[in-house]
A = this chain, B = another copy of it.
């Protein structure tokens, strides 16, 4: 059970969250390496120096954003891969889930896609670590499938990495289609599904 926070700590976490939210908003049209500390505090309506009470630098804030964007995603991933049903059902469910998540948290998805290869190393490292954790979890979930009989751990991790990469690609494609037509979003969903299906077919015939 978590201890109830005092008025003081509560207010601090509130402004901290406001900083994170404003930063995420400002990052829609720029990269983290060009995000200014003053820019963020101005958007929140707080003095520039208040920033230092919460983060050492904008890079530090970026790492916190990685946690916020990816930290709560682990149960969802595992759940999707572990779900019963044949391959096509799982793929349909996964694509639907990705589309829904992008619609619900577009700024988070944009941030991850953008900063994965971005100019701020600590943030890149944080994202890489989280994605590696995802891949490991997916590999463990895949190992439970009957189709994975005879697979080496290394091959399972290789496949899991392919899935994770493709999930992020699909998420990014959905993001670009967010302001487009319904038909365009449908086209993205169909392409992502077929690509995942092709990978799954490759998986089925990998051995032998």
Contact surface of A with B, Cβ cutoff 8 Å: 27, 29-34, 110, 113-114, 116-119, 121, 155, 158-159, 161-162, 165-166, 169, 172, 191, 194-195, 198-206
Contact = CB atoms under 8 A, between A and B. Distances in A.
A118 B31 contact: yes
Contacts of A27: 119
Contacts of A117: 110, 113-114, 116-117, 172
Contacts of A113: 117
Contact of A119 (B31, B159, B201): B31
Contact of A191 (B158, B169, B202): B158
The listed residue with most B CB atoms (<10 A of its CB), out of A27, A110, A194, A198, is A198
Given A31-B34, A113-B117, A201-B201, 4 more contacts: A27-B119, A30-B119, A31-B32, A117-B172
A65 B131 CA distance: 29
Contact of A34 (B119, B121, B158, B206): B119
Contacts of A33: 30-31, 33-34
A195 B31 CA distance: 30
Contacts of A32: 31
Contacts of A110: 117
A200 B162 CA distance: 13
A183 to B, nearest CB: 15
A11 to B, nearest CB: 32
A172 B116 CA distance: 11
Contacts of A119: 27, 29-31, 34, 114
Contact of A161 (B162, B195, B203): B195
A168 to B, nearest CB: 10
29 contacts: A27-B119, A29-B121, A30-B33, A31-B34, A31-B119, A34-B34, A113-B117, A114-B117, A114-B118, A114-B119, A117-B117, A117-B172, A155-B194, A158-B195, A158-B198, A162-B198, A165-B165, A165-B166, A165-B169, A198-B199, A198-B202, A198-B203, A199-B202, A200-B202, A201-B201, A201-B202, A201-B206, A202-B203, A204-B205
